[in-house]
Structure 1
Amino acid sequence: MSERPLGAQMSHMLKARGVDTIFGIPGVHNVEMYRGIEEAGITHVLARHEQGAGFMADGYARATGRAGVAYVITGPGLLNAMTAMGQAWSDSVSLLVLSSCLDETASVQGQLHQMRDQEGAAATVSDWSHTARDADGAFALIDRALGEFATLRKRTKHIQVPIAVLGASAAPAPDAMPLAQPPVAASVEREAALLAAAKRPLFIFGGGAAGASDAARALLQRTGAASFTTYAGRGIAAPDDPLHFGALLARPDSAQVIASADLVLAIGTELAEVDLWRDVLGHEAPMIRVDIDPQSLNDRHRAAYPVLSDAGGFMGRLLAACDAPPATGWSGAEVREARAKWRAEIDAERPGILPICDALRAALPDDTMVYSDMTQFAYAAKEIWPMARPGHWHHPFGFGTLGYALPAAIGGAVGRPGLPTVAIAGDYGFQYSLQELGTAVELGLPLPILLWDNGKLKEIEDAMVRSQIAPNAVVARNPDFLALARAYGAGAVAPATLSDLQEAVGAALKADGPTVILMTPALSASS
């Protein structure tokens, strides 16, 4: 390939490295990045806001396991995307953001989109943020980002290129080098011996183990161990496993269950605040901690046996080393009793939501991928909705932003054409990114958008009441959501009963565009 502007060479490089879709918004400062997109054979998805582009790339990455790439402009374009960048950093997502930047900022003032430190701003929500000063630097940084996605904990990366450098002539990128493999524990003999000696072993699986569910399920069956998952780890353990406690670590008295184990194995999980909603896990027995991130192995949970390893590689070796008969210390009865108790607690805390969850789950295919927002409906659902397979429910767990579900679901649907995808949002959070309905309509995505409308910020109202604060600023006037959806060209329906809801979801999955399905608390009382 002959020399051409660097922006075009970058697009060809990304295509050669397996990138087939880019989400973004063109502007006067990044037009050179768009010169080579169509020629390279990359699909570009036009978002309505750079935050939406970032969330779409995030949703695409979670759905496909490949890098999600976003193109944004200098200054406000990058700043608009930073919420999505922070979310992907927090939730271990392979998000690569490529932006333009000004050629000179120290000696020149008053330029369009000028910032004091654009690279530094992006670094606050990224694993790293660097400026490529020439073509070789741009190529090296792109390869570094893609290589680290494959071998290290997945975190947001940001690369910015000066406008003049993007437009300057450059030779093609070099051929790709083979990617390294993630680290795998050299030996698991110690861990296998501890597991063989335990009578009440307990596994806790996080999202980092989602790619190794077959090994996880085989380990549970072979050892007779009980298990929990984090919210991000749902589906790793079989939902019908009689010794699986579910994604209920946040229930306060789950700590008592954990304290009764004589060995805890935490695999691929931060055991973060948003997993537990308490300071400590509650274990009294030794803990084997397996993680690809060294920082997680040295945190407040103080693992007795830290193991720096990819979850799948570790569990595969552990499974091969386990030949002891199953432990007998756990019973299906105690697990059923705990799960029933916790479900009743959730139903009491957030009344009316669980019957709707049950109806929706019955109506959706097992391979449905769900993207949810920060809303009470999702808070309840992610505790009690069993998943048949891992990596099929995505939520803004760590950073906890509003407005995630719709654009992320668009990215997920683009990454999985022909497979069912659903968005779940609350009435307030939906308004953070509802303009992305335009993108979903343009793409003709058969996307059900389940909109939970309780007319207020109910979670915040409840928090104020618990704190003995008179509820304030928790009710906002909502638009006519159905009319708004139709104005964008989307379908819109407000089911009156649970059976109507199931029919609406089925129809939306077969439609030629997105459908907003309005759900209210009154649905739970319907027949």
Structure 2
Amino acid sequence: MQPLGVEISRALAARGVEVIFGIPGVHNVELYRGIIEAGITHILARHEGGAGFMADGYARASGKPGVIYIITGPGVTNALTPLGQAYSDSVPVLAVASCLDTADLDQGRGRLHDMISQLGAAQSVVELAGTGLDGPSTFELVDRALAGFATNRPRPALVQVPINVLGALAAEAPPPVAPPARPKASDADIATVAQLVENARKPLLILGGGARNAAAPLRELVTRQNLAVLPSYAGRGIIPDDHPNSFGAMVYGAPSAALIGSADLVIAIGTELGETDFGRATLGHRAPLVRVDLDARALADRHRASHPIRADANSFATQLNAALPNTGSTDWSTSAIARRRKAGRVAAETYPGLQPVIDALRKALPETATIFSDMTQIAYQAKVTWPMTAPNRWFHPSGFGCLGYALPAAIGGKVALGRAAPVIALAGDYGFQYTLQELATAVELGLNLPIILWDNARLKEIEDYMVQNQIAPNAVVAKNPDFIALARAYGANASQPETPADLSKAIETALGATTPTLIRLTPDFRP
């Protein structure tokens, strides 16, 4: 028997965890006793918020759960923001936290890191939160979290363990069990949907991030049945944007409303159909809506699906392919799709002057680059106009919309994908300062990570919004540091390209470096 803190690390390793992000403290130090023995790599963040975003980026890039170790009280509250982002974007992040001794829990005795209810705070942003009061209950909570990641909509979980329990001797965890199978559509549901597809003249497929594991069968389905495709931002690349049946990134606003309203069948797979994708609360469909999702709650939401089906996207697409004839005929023409795709992209270019910079970036980056972006205008436009040829190439903090996401998430993504994979952070000057301290982590790890910093010296999105709403701009300009000097002070490389040729060289050099590189671009950059 070993202290429970040791057995937790052993249990995680036995369940496939290879990396943990976190910060040790007096309360959670027992979690650190067994990390090395368990063969797990620990990555030291500079803030629990950074650790949470790193775990998020690691999970998105690898497809495996991201794990963080955090302390009682402020460690947990600091991590709530990235946990909230993971919740809104369906990312499997497991937080393991210390909490006060069992005798002091929720007693308000003024202990160090005391909170009214640490568990209650966590429950506002995670799918599962619980307290391990001994070894068996702790391991059960961990296994419930991992089973939920594997089978349900993969939202974050928090397991807290009292300090005295972490240090107490415990038996080792039981062996890991195979995750339960994901739900599959019934034969009757598949037969119904197949008949709807065969009868439709203008069937439209809406694909979200929950369909990324089904790229192969979905591409077969789209091509064989001549289905038109409208991806959400998270679903871009499942069907390549240059596919003749793809409407590309015209999901936001009026273009998609007219498109969806003209369809005589809508099949939405793995998408929340949320406001942050469509720019409106309602979908605007008049036709039958087939809704395929792992989240039973989504199947009963305001969109009122006529055919709600709880199923895994991959199995559903595979089953539907088998149930349909080899070819289908619809009234969607490739010329109409091309025209509408172009109209959607033109409408999306709402930030004057940014598209030439985006085009220069696209030309300078490898096509296989994985990009983690922040809440900044250059990312808002780029994630619309940058063609996606494969899924999992662009990750953005949708839904919760956190500033400071790009750098730590890119660190986590880089750890997951390795040195040979080009990973890029794209941030704005204001959001970058939320988590810039994580440069130190990237330097310690020797990551060949280019960090593209768009520095327009203001909160430009907020300034524009104020102007649009006839509010005199206020509190939208802040004095920035010398970012080049700051990056170098951390031990990173830094440059400020003036031309597209300079930018290409800077990125090429950064991808071959042994330390991260800050690449600052300003509105003076003229492609």
TM-score range, shorter chain: over 0.9
The residue number in structure 1 matching 2:35 is 37
Q: In 2, Cα distance between the equivalents of 1:428 and 1:8? A: 40
Cα RMSD of the aligned pairs, angstroms, is 1.1
Give the Å deviation of 1:344. 2.4
**Of residues 96, 112, 136 in structure 2, which corresponds to 1:98?**
96
What amino acid sits opposite 2:467 in the alignment? V
Cα offset, 1:107, TM superposition: 4.7
Aligned to 2:375: 374
- Alpha-carbon deviation of 1:343? 2.4
Instruction: Name the residue aligned to 2:315.
Output: 313
Partner of 2:51: 53
Partner Cα separation in structure 1 for residue 469 and residue 494 of structure 2: 38
* Distance apart, 1:53 and its partner CA: 0.4
Q: Residue 66 of structure 2 aligns with which residue?
A: 68
1:206 alignment counterpart = 208
- The residue number in structure 2 matching 1:470 is 472
Q: Deviations over 1:115-161 (max 9, x none)?
A: 11111111111112111111111111111111111011101100000
What letter corresponds to residue 375 of structure 1 in structure 2? T
2:309 is paired with a residue of what secondary structure? strand
**Which whole-Å CA distance do the structure 1 matches of 2:65 and 2:144 have between them?**
12
For residues 392-414 of structure 1, the C-alpha deviation after alignment (integer angstroms, 9 at most, x for no partner) is 21111011010000000000000
Aligned to 1:6: 4
> How many angstroms apart in 1 are the aligned matches of 2:185 and 2:123?
31
Answer yes or no: is the 8 Å Cα contact 1:448–1:515 preserved in 2.
yes
CA offset digits 1:262-283 (Å, max 9, x no partner): 1111000000011111122221
8 Å CA contact 1:60–1:415 kept in 2: the answer is: yes
Q: Secondary structure at the match of 2:111?
A: coil
Aligned to 1:402: 403
Give the aligned residue type for 2:381.
A
Matched, 1:89 2:90: no
410-419 or 276-285, larger mean C-alpha shift:
276-285
Aligned residue among 234, 237, 245 for 2:236:
234
- Which residue pairs with 1:497 in the alignment? 499
Answering whether residue 126 of structure 2 is matched by residue 118 of structure 1, we say no
* Helix, strand or coil at the partner of 1:44: strand
Structure 2 counterpart of 1:121, one-letter code: A
How does 1:363-512 map onto structure 2 within 5 Å?
Answer: 363-418=364-419, 419-512=421-514
Q: Is the Cα contact below 8 Å between 2:249 and 2:344 reproduced in 1?
A: no
CA contact (8 A) 2:151 2:180 kept: yes
Distance apart, 1:336 and its partner CA:
1.9
- Determine the C-alpha separation between the residues in 2 that align with 1:327 and 1:145: 44
The residue number in structure 2 matching 1:362 is: 363
After superposition, what is the alpha-carbon deviation per residue over 1:152-193, rounded to whole angstroms, capped at 9, x for unaligned?
Answer: 110110000000000001111111112111101022011011
Give the AA of the match of 2:45.
A
Q: What amino acid sits opposite 1:179 in the alignment? A: P
Q: Which amino acid aligns with 2:39?
A: G
**2:167 corresponds to:** 167
* SS in structure 1 of the partner of residue 69 of structure 2: strand
- Matched with 2:182 is 182
CA distance in 2, matches of 1:106, 1:126: 20
Which sections of structure 2, spanning at least 5 residues, go unmatched? none
Which amino acid in structure 2 is aligned with residue 406 of structure 1?
A: L
Identity over the aligned pairs, expressed in percent?
55
* Residues 345-366 of structure 1 deviation map (CA, whole Å, 9 limit, x = unaligned): 333x201222222222223223
User: What is the CA–CA distance in structure 2 between the aligned matches of 1:498 and 1:272, rounded to whole Å?
Assistant: 36
Higher alpha-carbon deviation: 499-508 or 228-237:
499-508
Instruction: Give distance in 2, aligned partners of 1:106 and 1:211.
Output: 42
Distance 2:125 2:291 in 1: 26
User: Which residue of structure 1 aligns with residue 109 of structure 2?
Assistant: 109
CA distance in 1, matches of 2:503, 2:495: 9
Offset at residue 105 of structure 1 (A): 3.6
- Looking at structure 2, the residues matched to 198 and 460 of structure 1 have their Cα atoms a distance apart, in angstroms, of 44
Q: Which moved more, 1:65-74 or 1:291-300?
A: 291-300
CA contact (8 A) 1:7 1:34 kept: yes
Matches of 1:443 and 1:50, distance apart in 2? 18
Post-superposition offset of 1:485: 0.4
2:418, 2:326 → 1: CA distance?
Answer: 44
Is the contact made by 2:203 and 2:330 (CA closer than 8 Å) also made in structure 1? no
What is the SS of the residue equivalent to 2:206? strand
Q: Is the 8 A contact 2:200 2:330 kept in 1?
A: no
Cα pair distance change 1:108/1:453, threshold 3 Å? closer
**Whole-Å Cα distance in 2 between the matches of residues 136 and 102 of structure 1?**
19
Question: Which amino acid in structure 2 is aligned with residue 139 of structure 1?
Answer: F
The answer to whether the 8 A contact 2:200-2:265 is kept is yes
Is residue 2:164 matched to residue 1:145?
Answer: no
Matched to 1:174, the amino acid is P
Shift of 1:506: 1.6
Structure 1: distance between partners of 2:342 and 2:231: 17
Q: Is the contact between residue 414 and residue 447 of structure 2 (CA under 8 Å) also seen in structure 1?
A: yes
Q: What amino acid maps onto 1:320 in structure 2?
A: A
Letter in 1 for 2:140: A
Q: Which amino acid aligns with 2:47?
A: H
Secondary structure of 2:480's partner?
coil
Structure 1, residues 185-211: CA drift from partner, whole Å, max 9, x if none? 022011011101111111000000001
TM-score (norm 1): 0.97
CA distance in 2, matches of 1:173, 1:397: 36
Q: Deviations over 1:317-362 (max 9, x none)?
A: 0011111532231122222222222322333x20122222222222
Partner of 2:297, secondary structure, is helix
Which moves more between the two structures, 209-218 or 101-110? 101-110
Retained in 1: the 8 A contact 2:255–2:344?
no
Q: Is the 8 A contact 1:132 1:141 kept in 2?
A: yes
TM-score (normalised: structure 2): 0.97
Indicate if the aligned counterparts of 1:196 and 1:324 stay in contact, CA closer than 8 A.
Answer: no
Q: Is 1:21 matched with 2:22?
A: no
For 1:515, the equivalent position in structure 2 comes to: 517
Partners of 1:309 and 1:408 lie apart in 2 by 29
Structure 1 residue 108: Cα displacement:
6.1
Cα offset, 1:521, TM superposition: 2.2
Q: Is the 8 A contact 1:200 1:327 kept in 2?
A: no
* 8 Å CA contact retained: 2:201, 2:331: yes
Aligned AA (1:156): P
1:55-108 residue CA offsets vs partner (Å, 9 max, x unmatched): 001110111111100000000011111101100011000000000000114556
Q: Which runs of 5+ in 1 are unaligned?
A: none
Distance 2:337 2:457 in 1: 37
Aligned length in residues:
522
Secondary structure class of the residue paired with 1:504: helix
CA contact 1:198–1:262 (8 Å) conserved in 2: yes
Distance 1:107 1:198 in 2: 62
SS of alignment partner, residue 290 of structure 1: strand
- In 2, are the aligned partners of 1:251 and 1:342 still within 8 Å (CA)? no
2 CA distance for matches of 1:108 and 1:236?
51
Q: Secondary structure at the match of 1:333?
A: helix
1:352 counterpart = 2:353: yes
Quote the Cα distance in structure 2 between the aligned partners of 1:175 and 1:90. Answer: 31
Q: Give SS of 2:519's match.
A: strand
Inter-CA distance 107–380: structure 2 relative to 1 (3 Å threshold) = closer
More off after superposition, 16-25 vs 491-500: 491-500
Rounded to whole Å, the distance in 1 between the matches of 2:312 and 2:50 is: 31
Residue in 2 aligned with 1:158?
A: 158
